[in-house]
Amino acid sequence: MNYEPVIGLEVHAQLKTETKAFCSCPTRFGAQPNTQICPVCLGLPGTLPVLNRRMVEFAIRTALAFHGEISKDSVFARKNYFYPDLPKGYQISQYDRPLAVGGYLDIETKVPSPPRGEGQGEGATRRIRLVRIHMEEDAGKLIHEGIPGSEGSSFVDYNRAGVPLIEIVSEPDLRSPEEAGSYLRLLRSVVQYLDVCDGNMEEGSLRCDANVSVRPEGSEKYGTKVEVKNMNSFKSVEAAIQYEIDRQIQAIAAGERIVQETRLWDADPQKTFSMRSKEEAHDYRYFPEPDLIPVMVDAAWIEKVQGGLPELPDAKRRRFVEALELSHYDASVLVSSKSIADFFEKTIAIYNKPKMASNWILSELLRYLHEEGRGIEQSRVTPQLLAEMLRMIGDGALSGKMAKEIFKEVYQTGASAVSIVEKKGLKQVTDESAIAQVIDQVLAKHPDKVQDYKAGKEKLFGFFVGEVMKATRGQANPQKLNTLLKTKLSS
């Protein structure tokens, strides 16, 4: 029997505020342990939380970008459980009245999957619906080893306790690990465009849990779902989901029943493991947080946030394809990260040849950056430097072949193409008489080959081009060389 995977994702995004959700402690990552704590986030008796306005604004911004409906009065709730990373014994979250409900992301997919979505093949999209977006506070960080005398102990750092999060919950609309990856990448790129979250999965500022189940193909009923946690990269999210799908199909095929449980992904053996310690069913005893009153968001505020939304990857990609005539694939890669898109747009603002700029960024710049493991933000090549070199190519002062060599040096040194060309004496020869002179020399040196060519061995044309290029150290303008050579050989 064939099985269809059914996947829903719960994504926690850490908001890029200066301070925590309910107190004025800083949220800086990597600070010394317990240096960013105060009586409020430690849950000391007598303290009261006061809501960070920017947290709400960032949450509204995200919900609007995903087409969610903002609630005019959402309510914070206490989620009660005992764990050392939670100083108050409860997490302030939202429960039955979240900040936003509904919304969607249109992901790119190769799988044609009606009824939602448009088209098939390249550029086809599928709509993944959202259940809700709500606000909550993060818990502290537990460390289990690496501290002297740590046998039998765990250690708690509360710097992260109270850091603002939003949780973005999808409907179970995803149908493959690749779609889950595609959804997560788009989601990350949107929160980065919105500048509300830095999207760093390794540092945990973007975290993803997956609800995975399988059902016989064609069946409408959902299978029993398993929650998979502990993935800290796109790759591990896809691998964990794939593992879980395979595990469940095998179990069903062997006549076993899937148990509803939480499993942890372990990247080392590439397996998911049942969380043994969570045997008791959770009872969070949610109730409205009495220390905070409902979060009132009026229409004026929503309108103001809406007006401040930047162009999002979807719209940008469409514009790149339609107005700049880039290929769909190129446009997708360019918009996949805000910093790459920014680099591209700055480059064409200086020298407006989009196709050329896109080619150089995608094939040369990103390749070099990738080899070095650098982000485009740390590139020594600036949009200014790239634009300058593209202008030289466009003006015919540099052949594409020479440019590749020059670009390597621009990349390594951050020097301008103009200065490198001057230093190397590499300027392309566009002077026709100079090229003609070299052609004459080459033809004079190979009278036999000239004769063969004239007798019909036209393949020799490439040989002559090669010889001229050799003699000019590759600096002859190829178009001019071709024209001149043809004229000379046919005379």
Residue 438 to residue 90: CA distance in whole angstroms? 83
Which of 11, 25, 326, 442 binds other proteins (CB under 8 A)? It is 25
User: Nearest approach, Cβ of 296 to other proteins (angstroms)?
Assistant: 5
Residues 6 or more apart in contact with residue 54 via CB below 8 angstroms:
15, 17, 18
Which of 296, 309, 315, 349 binds other proteins (CB under 8 A)? It is 296
Q: Which is nearer to other proteins, 34 or 416 (CB)?
A: 34
Q: Which is nearer to other proteins, 229 or 346 (CB)?
A: 229
Query: Residues touching other proteins: how many (CB under 8 A)?
Result: 52
Sites for other proteins among residues 58-77 (CB under 8 A) = 75
Dihedral angle at the C-alpha atoms of 27, 31, 33, 38, nearest 10 degrees? -40
Contact stretch for other proteins (CB under 8 A) within 82-90, 118-126, 236-244, 396-404: 82-90
Under rule CB under 8 A, residue 33 binds other proteins:
yes
Residue 259 is given by DSSP the state P
**Could you tell me which of 11, 16, 18, 23 has the C-alpha nearest to residue 161?**
23
Q: Token match 């509204």: residue?
A: 60
Q: Which is nearer to other proteins, 2 or 32 (CB)?
A: 32
Which of 4, 10, 47, 97 binds other proteins (CB under 8 A)? It is 97
- Residues making up the chain, counted from first to last: 491
Residue 477 to residue 396: CA distance in whole angstroms? 7
CB 22 within 8 A of CB 92: yes
Under rule CB under 8 A, residue 462 binds other proteins:
no
Q: Residue-wise over 200-213: b if at least 16 C-beta within 10 A, else e?
A: ebeeebbbbbbbbb
Q: Which is nearer to other proteins, 63 or 333 (CB)?
A: 63
Residue 76 to residue 165: CA distance in whole angstroms? 13
Q: What mask of x and - would describe binding to other proteins in positions 241 to 280, judged by CB under 8 A?
A: -----------------------------------xx---
Q: Which is nearer to other proteins, 157 or 173 (CB)?
A: 157
Under rule CB under 8 A, residue 420 binds other proteins:
no
Which of 7, 13, 37, 403 binds other proteins (CB under 8 A)? It is 37
Under rule CB under 8 A, residue 32 binds other proteins:
yes
Q: Are strands 226-231 and 262-266 parallel, antiparallel or unpaired?
A: parallel
Q: What mask of x and - would describe binding to other proteins in positions 38 to 57, judged by CB under 8 A?
A: xx--x-------xxxxxxx-
Q: Which is nearer to other proteins, 23 or 252 (CB)?
A: 23
Q: Enumerate the β-bridge partners of residue 213.
A: 6
Residue 426 to residue 398: CA distance in whole angstroms? 8
Dihedral angle at the C-alpha atoms of 431, 435, 436, 438, nearest 10 degrees? 150
User: Nearest approach, Cβ of 233 to other proteins (angstroms)?
Assistant: 22
Q: Which is nearer to other proteins, 163 or 348 (CB)?
A: 163
Q: Are strands 3-14 and 295-296 parallel, antiparallel or unpaired?
A: unpaired
Residues 6 or more apart in contact with residue 312 via CB below 8 angstroms:
65, 190, 193, 194
Q: Which is nearer to other proteins, 82 or 444 (CB)?
A: 82
Q: Are strands 141-143 and 164-170 parallel, antiparallel or unpaired?
A: unpaired
Task: Map residue 10 onto helix, strand or coil.
Answer: strand
Q: Which is nearer to other proteins, 276 or 370 (CB)?
A: 276
User: Nearest approach, Cβ of 20 to other proteins (angstroms)?
Assistant: 9
Q: Which long-range contacts (CB under 8 A, 24 or more apart) does 454-461 make?
A: 454/489, 461/485, 461/486, 461/489
Which of 123, 204, 288, 474 binds other proteins (CB under 8 A)? It is 288
Structure tokens at 478: 């190829």
Q: Which is nearer to other proteins, 72 or 404 (CB)?
A: 72
Contact stretch for other proteins (CB under 8 A) within 30-38, 201-209, 348-356, 405-413: 30-38
Q: Which long-range contacts (CB under 8 A, 24 or more apart) does 123-126 make?
A: 123/328, 126/173, 126/179
Q: Token match 């080893």: residue?
A: 145
User: Nearest approach, Cβ of 37 to other proteins (angstroms)?
Assistant: 6
Q: What mask of x and - would describe binding to other proteins in positions 128 to 167, judged by CB under 8 A?
A: --------------xxx--xxx--xxxxxxx---------
Q: Which is nearer to other proteins, 140 or 181 (CB)?
A: 140
User: Nearest approach, Cβ of 70 to other proteins (angstroms)?
Assistant: 14
Q: Enumerate the β-bridge partners of residue 69.
A: 101
User: Nearest approach, Cβ of 310 to other proteins (angstroms)?
Assistant: 19
Residue 86 to residue 208: CA distance in whole angstroms? 20
Binding site for other proteins (CB under 8 A): 17-19, 23-26, 32-39, 42, 50-56, 75, 80, 82-84, 97, 142-144, 147-149, 152-158, 276-277, 283, 285, 288, 290, 293-296
